[in-house]
Structure formats: C-alpha cells, structure tokens
Amino acid sequence: MQLYTSQKLQVHNSLSGKKEVFTPLNEGHVGMYVCGPTVYSNVHLGNCRTFMSFDMIYRYLKHLGYKVRYVRNITDAGHLEDEGEQEDKISKKARLEQLEPMEVVQRYTVDFHQILEKFNFLPPSIEPTATGHIIEQIEIIKDILEKGYAYEMNGSVYFDVSKFNKKYTYGKLSGRKLEDMITNTRDLAAQDEKRNPQDFALWKKAEPQHIMRWPSPWGDGFPGWHLECTAMSTKYLGETFDIHGGGMDLKFPHHEAEIAQAEASYGHSPVRYWLHTNMLTLNGKKMAKSTGNNILPNEIFSGQNDILSKAYSPSAVRFFMMQAHYSSILDLSDDALAASEKGYLKLMEAMNQLADLPTGKTTDFDITSWKQECYKAMNDDFNTPVLIAQLFEAVRQTNLIHDSQASISQEDKEELIQSMSVFVYEILGLENNQDMGQDRDTLSGLVDLLIEIRNSARANKDFATSDKIRDDLANLGVQLKDGKEGTSFSIK
Ligand code: AMP
Ligand code: ZN
C-alpha cells in the first residue's frame, strides 16, 4: 500500500485560485512539467528558489509513492527579449561575446547543473532542450494554422489571440481580460506586423544576421518561446498532464500562451494543476537578471559579495528557502540568512544527537501524532514552514528527554530517527554537512585559548601543565610550534 492512498494531498491550483485535492490522471503516476532556465547567463538565487520549490515538491510526491515523471526543460532558443524584438536572448549574447550560440548554451547549462548539485537537487526525469524539438514545434504550428488560430506574416507565424478568444478564454490563468489588454496597448498596434499586439509569435523569421535558424515551411526562422513548452510537455507527458509549474512571473504571457496553444491545437486545457512559486526579493525588489538586482549562489557560498557579511553553505541557504512557503514572497538579507543558519545548525546538532537518546521508560512525547502533524503540513500545499516548526517541536521534546533524565522507548526512538531523516534529508533535501567554516573558527579559537593557558603555565614554571597541553594536543593531531613571534599551530 503506497503512502498516497492514506495521505490526502491538497495543492493550490492557480487556475481555480483554490486549494484542491490532488488526484492524478493515472493512479499512482504523476506527470510534472516545470519551465527551466533560459541558459544565456548564470542562474541567480531567485531562479534557484523556484527550481528548489519544485525539487521539494518532486521529493514529496516520490516519497508518497507516486511514480513521477518530472520534465524540466532547458530553453536554448526562442526566448525573445520582448515580443517586439527580432533577436532571442541566446543569439544576442552569442553576438555580443563573439561565441557560437551553442557555446553560450553549454557554458550556462553546465553552470546551472553545478549550482543545482551544490544545492542537492534531484535531477529531473527528462531535461529536454528546445533546439532538440524543432520538428515537434513545427508540427504544432501547422496544426494551429490548419485550425485557423494562427496566421503567417512575412515568414513569421503568429497566434491569433482575438480569434481564439471567440471560442476559448484568453487570460483565465492570470485573470486578465482581452478587452482590457486591447485598450491598454492600442497605440502600439500600428508599429507591428502582427494583427494585434496581443498576438504572439509561434515562429519567427530569422533576419539574415540571426545565427540561430532552422528551415521551416515558412522559410528560415526559429520557434517562439511559449511553443517550446507546449511541444516538450506534450511529447513527454501527453496532451493532458497533472502539474505544470514555474515562477509567478511566467503566468503571463508565457503560461497563458501555453494554455491557448494547447486549446487551439488539441481542443482542451493541457494542465490539471497549475502551481506557481512566488518571488525571491533583494532589497524588497524582485531578484532579476535584467535589472542587476540579484546575487549568484557561488557569491553566497564564497562570501565574495557586497550584500552579505559572510559566506553561507548551500544547506543553510536551502534551509532559509524552506522556511518560507513557496507561494509567499521571500526577502533575502544578511540577518535572515544568519538566523536561518542558526536554525539549520541547531537542527543538524539535534539530528546528530538522536542516536544518543536514552531508552527505557516512555515519555509524554507522542511520536505517532507528531508524525501525523508533519504529514498534515506537507499535505497542506507543501507547507514547509509548518513542517519545520514541527521538526523543532521534536528537537524541543528530545531536549526535554535529555534534561529531565527521562528516556524514550526503543520503538519510539527508532521511529523518531527514521521520520526525522525522512523529513529533513529526503523531503527537505538538507544535507548534514555543517558549515565547516564555522567549525574551523571554533577550533582555532579553542587552540588559541589552550596556547594562552600553556604560556601562563610556563611563566609560572608549571612545566608539567605546559607539557601536558603540548603533548595532548599533539596526540589529537594539533602541532604547536614555538617561534620568536609566539606559538603557532598546525593541524594534521
Ligand atoms: P528564466 O531563466 O528567466 O526563464 O527563469 C527561470 C525560472 O526562474 C522561472 O520559473 C522564473 O519564474 C523563475 N524566477 C525568475 N526570477 C525569480 C525570482 N526573483 N524569484 C523566484 N523565481 C524566479
Ligand atoms: Zn515554459
């Protein structure tokens, strides 16, 4: 019997605006698609927050016993700076840096994977690239043209939003109305080859200087960004699948366009549950590549940045992210990270001490109901902050057991150790590699203290004590060296 039969998961569906009981299309199986990065620059911590939320969601679904097919794409073509532009982000970067576009793609895909590995992400089941699915995209465009919801113009193909809106509803995910959009953009219409400013490119003609180009029935060009996700999600998950995720900033126009494309082509909505993560902010503003208001993960791990007072480990940062619900705004600051690091270290210390809990008579700590509370938190739309509060409740209870010289039954102890490691390591994805920097600081502080005590022992001619300090430290692998400038030490 899999866990999902007894744990009733509820998720907040952005399409309905409500929490809904999660029932996958095919029992026991979950198909999940998450929009991946556009690989034209290093991923910043904001991007990582969104991917980390879905890593946690993937981990929990797997823990519940679902067979999850998790597809997270790599956008390596087609992402325009904005709808009116002729050049995509990767081509532009390649032109500016005088690189082959695929060199840009390779460099930042490798960076993305390295960062995610440091954060202890699970790899998705499939990581398709847009450039690997040009044929599939062309097929969908042909289909949408045939159904009358797109038109060709000078070698580009555009989705006809107004026509689509006559039969379907454009804007239902983001809560926008086409009439309002039209009123707001009337002035722009004249400058565009599109029939309406709301129309978006399915295929874009490549100007002669555009490096990334593929042949198509409409001439050389490149696919539209929104279409990539429709092509890749359909190919690997089908015309209808369970979960589609991404950051809230992608709701419009990207996800709205994905819904329209699928409805125009297949005649029905593609996604059963839309999940959107909220933004990581810095100085109260959205972290973004374009504005420069961002921090890179490696700048945090190394401490080389102008924003934070010290370096933080990947696990401390992961813990910081997990302390907020994925749908709340989270602001990054030195104080907030420092507080999270403290919490993380406290949790890890407790994890390390669980094995030493004295067993014998039982305490009041009811492990079964505590565990239910942990599941209740996760089943309530993946509420990690509430889960973490429950984990600290367990820490508090174990401290009580230690302090009161009480004990816990062997059975409860095993259950507690097992459950704690499931929630902490398997589901939250934390690693127990306490900040080595902090350990080193503590260690050198302690050795300096012993050197001081040894110096005063020598000054008092208490050579027995001074020799003992030197020899015992040597046995621990700490070598003292007396020099002109005082005593220094090295650690084996
Ligand atoms: P991009 O590479 O710009 O397409 O973004 C990749 C993912 O990161 C998308 O799902 C975005 O919604 C998400 N994202 C971008 N900025 C932030 C942010 N400040 N906080 C959280 N997620 C973000
Ligand atoms: Zn997408």
**Residue 137 Cα, ligand 1 centroid: separation in angstroms?**
23
> What is the rounded distance in angstroms from the CA atom of residue 254 to the CA atom of residue 273?
16
Both 186 and 114 in one domain: the answer is yes
Half-sphere exposure of 400 (CA within 13 A, CB side): 11
Q: Which of 406, 427, 448 is the last residue of a domain?
A: 427
Both 416 and 451 in one domain: the answer is no
Please check whether residue 289 lies inside any domain of the structure. Answer: no
Pocket test for ligand 1, best of 39, 47, 56, 332 (most atoms within 8 A of CB): 47
CA 412 vs CA 68, 364, 431: distances in Å: 31, 11, 24
Position 129 scores a pLDDT of 98
Q: Which of 371, 403, 427 is the last residue of a domain?
A: 427
Please check whether residue 290 lies inside any domain of the structure. Answer: no
**Residue 3 Cα, ligand 1 centroid: separation in angstroms?**
32
202 and 150 in contact (C-beta within 8 Å)? yes
**Residue 475 Cα, ligand 1 centroid: separation in angstroms?**
52
Both 205 and 331 in one domain: the answer is no
Both 486 and 396 in one domain: the answer is no
The residue segments making up the domain with residue 164 are 3-277
Position 191 scores a pLDDT of 60
Position 437 scores a pLDDT of 52
Residue 335 neighbours by CB distance under 10 Å: 9
CA 129 vs CA 38, 363, 459: distances in Å: 10, 55, 71
CATH code of the domain in which 61 resides: 3.40.50.620
Please check whether residue 287 lies inside any domain of the structure. Answer: no
Amino acid at 178: L
Please check whether residue 288 lies inside any domain of the structure. Answer: no
* Number of the ligand closest to the Cα of 228: 2
Please check whether residue 217 lies inside any domain of the structure. Answer: yes
* Number of the ligand closest to the Cα of 53: 1
Please check whether residue 361 lies inside any domain of the structure. Answer: yes
How many structural domains comprise the chain?
3
CA 286 vs CA 40, 75, 169, 276, 279: distances in Å: 19, 21, 29, 15, 6
* Number of the ligand closest to the Cα of 40: 1
Both 244 and 157 in one domain: the answer is yes
Position 413 scores a pLDDT of 94
**Residue 285 Cα, ligand 1 centroid: separation in angstroms?**
13
Measured from the Cα of 279, ligand 1's closest atom is 20
Please check whether residue 283 lies inside any domain of the structure. Answer: no
**Residue 94 Cα, ligand 1 centroid: separation in angstroms?**
21
Pocket test for ligand 1, best of 34, 40, 49, 50 (most atoms within 8 A of CB): 50
pLDDT tens track of the chain, all 492 residues?
A: 899 999 999 999 999 999 999 999 999 999 999 999 999 999 999 999 999 999 999 999 999 999 999 999 999 987 876 666 778 899 999 999 999 999 999 999 999 999 999 999 999 999 999 999 999 999 999 999 999 999 999 999 999 999 999 999 999 999 999 988 888 766 554 567 999 999 999 999 999 988 899 999 999 999 999 999 999 999 999 999 999 999 999 999 999 999 999 999 999 999 999 999 999 999 899 999 889 999 999 999 999 999 999 999 999 999 999 999 999 999 999 999 999 999 999 999 999 999 999 998 777 899 999 999 999 999 999 999 999 999 999 999 999 998 887 889 999 999 999 999 999 999 999 999 754 556 666 777 888 899 999 999 999 999 999 999 999 998 888 888 888 778 887 766
Both 376 and 413 in one domain: the answer is yes
Give, in degrees to the nearest 5, the angle at Cα 248 between 321 and 198: 160
Q: Which of 277, 309, 330 is the last residue of a domain?
A: 277
Buried residues in 178-210 as b, exposed as e (16+ CB within 10 A): beebbeeeeeeeeeeebebbbbbbbbbbbeeeb
Both 350 and 242 in one domain: the answer is no
Both 445 and 487 in one domain: the answer is yes
341 and 437 in contact (C-beta within 8 Å)? no
Name every residue whose Cβ is closer than 8 Å to that of residue 146 and which is 6 or more positions away in sequence.
none
Please check whether residue 286 lies inside any domain of the structure. Answer: no
Q: Which residue, by CA, sits nearest to atom 14 of ligand 1?
A: 47
In angstroms, the first-to-last Cα distance of the chain is 51
Name every residue whose Cβ is closer than 8 Å to that of residue 166 and which is 6 or more positions away in sequence.
none
Both 211 and 331 in one domain: the answer is no
CA 182 vs CA 167, 189, 190, 249: distances in Å: 18, 9, 13, 21
**Residue 17 Cα, ligand 2 centroid: separation in angstroms?**
20
Both 149 and 250 in one domain: the answer is yes
Both 390 and 267 in one domain: the answer is no
Both 37 and 76 in one domain: the answer is yes
